[in-house]
């Protein structure tokens, strides 16, 4: 089932998510719905907080469904290593229509549970490392806009407030 994606300003997006205590049918349904929602958006990643579930779960597929092995599901993820730096423009399904250049690691290793509950460790470089950091930020209540400073952040936040007041957000 495709779930609605929350937008910047919704409280769930701005708070840290809770750990998943057990692999339940509800968690399995959430993961399936998140995968469907991510591909339908279309996007390369989606955190549970973006669909209103305050749980530490994210899905990523930088191939956007073209590589059957490309889908990564992480439950209760944590960083093992991060190094290097990349500066690229990125956007977010919860901040539609806005992009900005954000500092991200060039390489990231994460560990968590897969959708079967088995422990899994994955290393990502480039776009995959960027996606890992982006989704981990969501689980900590941070959006890419929150990583911006100065006029760029102010412009985006002001435009979002204007769109919201007009009922277009």
Question: Where do the structural domains in the chain lie, given as residue ranges?
Answer: 11-165
Note if 135 is an active site residue.
yes
Query: pTM of this prediction?
Result: 0.96
Contact 56, 50 (CB under 8 A): no
Q: Which two tokens stand for residue 87?
A: 């500066």
Q: What is the pLDDT of residue 14?
A: 97
Return the residue matching tokens 């955190």.
47
Helix (H, G, I), strand (E, B) or coil at 49: helix
pLDDT by 10s per residue, the chain, length 169:
999 999 999 999 999 999 999 999 999 999 999 999 999 999 999 999 999 999 999 999 999 999 989 999 999 999 999 999 999 999 999 999 999 999 999 999 999 999 999 999 999 999 999 999 999 999 999 999 999 999 999 999 999 999 999 999 9
Q: Which string of b and e fits 146-163 if b means at least 16 CB within 10 Å? A: bbbeeeeeeebbeebeeb
Point out the catalytic residue in the list 26, 78, 88, 135.
135
Q: What is the pLDDT of residue 68?
A: 86
11-165 CATH fold: Peptide Deformylase (3.90.45)
The residues, any chain, with a CB within 8 Å of residue 103's CB and separated by 6 or more, are: 85, 86, 87, 147
Q: What is the pLDDT of residue 149?
A: 92
């Amino acid at each position: 089932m495709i779930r609605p994606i929350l937008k910047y300003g919704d409280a769930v997006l701005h708070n840290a998510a809770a750990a998943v205590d057990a692999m339940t049918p509800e968690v399995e349904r959430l993961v399936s719905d998140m995968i469907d929602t991510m591909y339908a958006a279309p996007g390369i990643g989606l955190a549970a907080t973006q669909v209103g579930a305050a749980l530490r779960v994210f899905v990523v597929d930088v191939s956007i469904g073209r590589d059957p092995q490309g889908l990564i599901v992480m439950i209760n993820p944590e960083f093992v290593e991060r190094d290097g730096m990349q500066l690229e423009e990125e956007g977010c399904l919860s901040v539609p229509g806005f992009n900005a250049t954000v500092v991200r690691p060039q390489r990231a290793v994460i560990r968590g549970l897969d959708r079967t509950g088995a422990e899994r460790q994955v290393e990502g470089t480039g776009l995959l490392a960027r996606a890992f950091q982006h989704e981990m930020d969501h689980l900590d209540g941070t959006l890419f806009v929150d990583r911006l400073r100065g006029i760029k952040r102010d412009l985006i936040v002001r435009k979002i407030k204007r769109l919201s007041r007009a009922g277009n957000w």
